[in-house]
A = this chain, B = another copy of it.
Amino acid sequence: MRISELSRLSGVSVTTIKYYLREGLLPPGRQTAATQAEYDEQHLRRLRLIRALVGVRGLPVSTTRDVLNALAQHISDTHRVLGLALGAIQLSEEPDAGSPESAVVDALVEELGWQVHQEAPARAALARTLTSLSTLGTPLDRQMLLPYARLAEQTAVLDLDQLDGIGDPLELAERALLLTVLMEPALLALRRMAQENESARRHGEP
């Protein structure tokens, strides 16, 4: 397909596609004339993944290139492809220094028997939230977190089920990213609605 068709199918403008080509995020097409090139399905898949990494996850272009290179090296390792797409595996960053709350997170993960990298950004994010709650006088301990974590386990099963059977690693990475990042506001909205319903059930007028 021509670059205009690639743009139409991916929803990425021709100008942006040319920028990704110059930056080496997207491999060149097959030259068919001095100013014309042909692109294929792999270009489209890669472009959709780039759009998800840059536009949805908000990665800088240089980091996106690193993620794409790392993906290319581990294309047959589904667990690693998912980890790279979802950001569980950091490309570069120091692990969090040991706050009292990060010890709570470590103990929680241990009790649940979860396999989670020590450097996973989600560990630090959870510890930071526990610190805020504690500072504002509503601390949450491990026993209060446990039932929430059990529900998160069930959510993750639904998430992974949705990715089942996607063979192409680029498509898998893109879908995992869109479903995880874009679904976040949806899950929070569902919680708010469920809270309103539960409050009506307990405290509302009949």
- A residues contacting B by CB (< 8 A) are 11, 48, 51-52, 56, 77-79, 82-83, 86-88, 109, 112, 114-117, 120-123, 125-126, 128-130, 132-133, 135-138, 140, 144-145, 147-149, 151-160, 162, 175, 178-180, 182-205
A152 CB contact (under 8 Å) in B79, B114, B193: B193
Minimum CB–CB distance for A201 against chain B, Å: 7
A195 CB contact (under 8 Å) in B109, B123, B160: B160
Minimum CB–CB distance for A95 against chain B, Å: 15
Provide a sorted-by-A list of 5 A–B residue pairs whose CB atoms are within 8 angstroms. Answer: A79-B199, A120-B196, A130-B186, A133-B178, A156-B197
In the complex, are the beta carbons of B203 and A109 less than 8 A apart? no
In the complex, are the beta carbons of B193 and A160 less than 8 A apart? no
Write the chain B residue with the least CB distance to A127.
B189
- Residues of B with C-beta under 8 A to A128: 185
Minimum CB–CB distance for A155 against chain B, Å: 5
Write the chain B residue with the least CB distance to A198.
B156
Minimum CB–CB distance for A135 against chain B, Å: 8
Q: How far is the CA of A196 from the CA of B125 in the complex (A)?
A: 15
Chain A interface, DSSP helix/strand/loop, else mixed: helix
In the complex, are the beta carbons of B203 and A137 less than 8 A apart? no
In the complex, are the beta carbons of A194 and B153 less than 8 A apart? yes
Q: How far is the CA of A146 from the CA of B83 in the complex (A)?
A: 26
In the complex, are the beta carbons of B52 and A136 less than 8 A apart? yes
Which of A137, A157, A198 neighbours the largest number of chain B CB atoms within 10 Å of its CB? A198
Q: How far is the CA of A164 from the CA of B138 in the complex (A)?
A: 14
- Residues of B with C-beta under 8 A to A203: 77-79, 82
Write the chain B residue with the least CB distance to A200.
B115
* Given A136-B56, A153-B194, A129-B199 contact (CB < 8 Å): no
- Residues of B with C-beta under 8 A to A145: 186, 190
- Residues of B with C-beta under 8 A to A188: 125, 184, 187-188
* Given A189-B126, A193-B122, A199-B83, A182-B133 contact (CB < 8 Å): yes
